[in-house]
């Protein structure tokens, strides 16, 4: 057996108390906890019966650096990720300048190594088109060589289907997946509220679910025609889910994610007396109906929706403290995602297998990232989690610079107490 350098004692894994043996950053063995052990020179971490979970992966965050460091930077974003239970983070390209140049990619990676050398790991997403303008492809080869893990025009969907097709083809040359933010570019763009009875009562310009589903249809047809993979970001409505399910049944290489806020909030939040017109709930795509929320849970549980992703989008307070129709879209999620989605498991709404798949194995399989399944040889990426600890979502309780979440004031249950990445304690 390899020389053990870390032993985590008496951790609860799938309801059983276990000891975890780690050597050189990898899992060596997980076995029933013993009364006594000979630890030798190994460092021993006592879990005291806390739950141990494999570290999670978030394939959709906005870290804002370079250009918008007052909202978030790589250091603060990875701090929120570390305390949120994430070992792998994919960050979008809508920085300033846009990540359409390898110098921007390298800067992001340098900042990650400088502030969080032991992880969480940062994987930049390169822009599909120069300046996210949808006119000319970005230098995808250079971006891939610099370390980009995927490509996306997130937030600014490519209008030209021909250009989008070429982008998918070039990305495949580098064995990379294109992530698409599905939004018809002419229909209620970034309105931040769902079109329906609620938007009518509030008198707000709105976006119908059709705006998302139309782009989903285009993308799955392209993926089928080209026989190439496509990953669909933050799916929010039943119409999209039905299209994805039908495409998967035909063997189309389509994968999809949804975000925690679509699982616990609906458009009704915006007309509650206490939260009416709350700009912290303005998000793109918008919060949908209860039926859409149920559809997302169904999709996660049956595997139609592969992944969960936070779409962590921090903004400064002064940017959200304005009229609803001019406020920017975005909700932060790295700090709250684990507590929110684990509660869904405890409530019986989300299967535990789906939770594990959506936060760990599926995103890592799609984007070829390291993942821990507690098997020998896996990276020793895991955290100790106090399922019983209650905490209130207050600005000072969040590690992200961004405090723009409609969950402010809510009491959640469950917090990360210790987090190891490749066997090294990071928090």
Residue 130: which of 157, 150, 101 has the closest Cα? 101
Any idea which residue has 């502030």 for tokens? 115
Q: Which residues pair with 257 in a beta bridge?
A: 307
Would you say 393 and 399 are in contact if contact means Cβ atoms under 8 Å apart? Answer: no
Residue 257: which of 336, 163, 359, 120 has the closest Cα? 359
Burial of 270 (0-12, 13-18, 19+ CB in 10 A): buried
Would you say 147 and 105 are in contact if contact means Cβ atoms under 8 Å apart? Answer: yes
Radius of gyration of the chain (CA): 21
Q: How far lies 149's CA from each of 93, 171, 177, 200, in Å?
A: 11, 10, 8, 41
Phi, psi at residue 137, to the nearest 5°?
-65, 145
Residue 52: which of 88, 20, 80, 25 has the closest Cα? 20
Alpha-carbon dihedral sign for residues 92, 180, 80, 51: negative
Is 335 a catalytic site residue?
no
Q: Which residues pair with 390 in a beta bridge?
A: 413
Catalytic residue among 100, 101, 154, 311: 311
Q: Which residues pair with 45 in a beta bridge?
A: 8
Active-site residues, by number, are 311
């Amino acid at each position: 057996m390899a020389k053990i350098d870390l032993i985590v004692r008496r951790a609860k894994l799938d309801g059983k108390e276990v000891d975890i043996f780690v050597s050189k950053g990898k899992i060596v063995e997980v076995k029933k906890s013993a009364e006594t052990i000979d630890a030798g020179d190994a460092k021993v971490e006592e879990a005291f019966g806390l739950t141990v979970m494999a570290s999670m992966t978030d394939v959709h965050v906005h870290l804002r650096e370079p250009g918008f460091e007052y909202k978030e930077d790589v250091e603060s974003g990875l701090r929120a990720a570390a305390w949120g239970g994430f070992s792998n983070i994919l960050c979008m390209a809508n920085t300033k300048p846009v990540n359409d140049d390898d110098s921007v990619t390298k800067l992001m990676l340098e900042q990650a190594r400088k502030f969080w050398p032991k992880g969480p790991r940062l994987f930049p997403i390169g822009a599909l088109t120069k300046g996210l303008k949808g006119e000319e492809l970005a230098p995808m080869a250079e971006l891939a060589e610099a370390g980009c893990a995927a490509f996306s025009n997130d937030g600014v969907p490519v209008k030209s289907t021909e250009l989008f097709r070429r982008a998918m083809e070039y990305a495949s040359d580098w064995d990379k997946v294109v992530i698409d933010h599905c939004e018809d570019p002419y229909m209620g763009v970034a309105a931040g509220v769902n079109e329906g009875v609620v938007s009518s009562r509030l008198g707000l310009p709105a976006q119908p679910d059709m705006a998302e589903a139309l782009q989903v249809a285009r993308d799955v047809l392209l993926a089928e025609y080209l026989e190439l993979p496509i990953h669909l970001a933050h799916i929010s409505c039943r119409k999209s889910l039905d299209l994805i399910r039908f495409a998967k049944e035909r063997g189309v290489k389509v994968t999809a994610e949804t975000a925690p806020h679509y699982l616990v909030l609906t458009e009704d939040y915006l007309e509650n007396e206490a939260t009416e017109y709350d700009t912290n709930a303005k998000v793109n795509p918008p919060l949908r109906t209860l039926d859409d929320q149920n559809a997302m849970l169904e999709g996660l549980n049956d595997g139609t929706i592969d992944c969960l992703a936070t779409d962590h989008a921090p903004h400064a307070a002064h940017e959200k403290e304005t009229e609803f129709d001019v406020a920017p879209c975005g909700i932060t999620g790295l700090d709250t995602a684990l507590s929110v989605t684990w509660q869904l498991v405890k409530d019986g709404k989300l299967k535990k297998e789906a939770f594990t798949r959506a936060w760990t194995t599926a995103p890592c399989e799609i984007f070829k990232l390291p993942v821990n399944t507690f098997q020998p040889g896996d990276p020793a990426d895991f955290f100790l989690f106090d399922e019983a600890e209650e905490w209130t979502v207050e600005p000072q309780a969040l590690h992200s610079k961004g405090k723009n979440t409609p969950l402010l004031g809510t009491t959640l249950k469950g917090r990360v107490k210790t987090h190891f990445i490749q066997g090294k304690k990071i928090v």
